[in-house]
Amino acid sequence: MKQRIPVAWQKLNRMLTAGLLVLIVIFSAPGLSADQRPTLLVMGDSLSAAYGIEQEQGWVTLLAERLKDEVQVVNASISGETTSGGAQRLASIIGQRQPDIVLLELGGNDGLRGLPPTQMRANLASMIEQSQQAGADVLLLGIDIPPNYGQAYRDAFTGVFHSLANEYNVALVPFLLEGVALNDELMQSDGIHPTAEAQPIILENVWPELEPLLDSVVSASSS
């Protein structure tokens, strides 16, 4: 992450005040019944919503392509989303989609706004609990913030993901943008969002923790 992120965030914040359109993208193979396949739900922000690049280049679309017809991937990510917004939306989406796996990729915008990590933790905990109560496995996708926010805040922020993973016994990707965030060639000019070239790397960061969950639900659905 770069020192210029707070400046870029001001531009993103102006975009948010203009309003956001809730968009749920469903990736499914033609001719296959979605009811016969497990459902994977991605609740994220711009990092999962393919901000600044073509939708088909995003790591969630790449994931759907890798899974082919075995799993239905529902991308309910919104650019600018906070954990508060995600927690408010999740119950309705779970009721509609009944996911088997929920990927939670939220918190970055909380950090960029300097919101209390305790508030972020409570929102993420609520989302984990909602998902588990619905019978879904959860994968938590961690994120980091720039060092200019202060080391104490940064430690508290990143510590939220680890403590939640331990408390709720959920899988964790410690840093979604590992190998990406500090590489200027893999980041867009705003210093916040990865380029199209970075998306396969992001998917590979997620895959080792996601694959065991997928194996479990696919096996269960076919038995």
Just list the catalytic residues.
46, 190, 193
> Can you spell out the DSSP letters for 64-129?
HHHHTTSSEEEE---TT--HHHHHHHHHHHHHHH--SEEEEE--HHHHHTT--HHHHHHHHHHHHH
Which are the contacts of 37, defined by CB distance < 8 A and separation ≥ 6? Answer: 28, 69, 70, 71, 72, 221
The answer to whether 63 and 73 have CB atoms below 8 angstroms apart is yes
Please count the other Cβ atoms lying within 10 Å of the Cβ belonging to residue 170. 20
Give 193's DSSP letter: S
Please state, in angstroms and rounded to a whole number, the distance separating the CA atoms of residues 210 and 171: 8
The answer to whether 88 and 116 have CB atoms below 8 angstroms apart is no
Measuring CA to CA, how many Å separate 39 from each of 137, 156, 218?
11, 33, 10
Give 3's DSSP letter: T
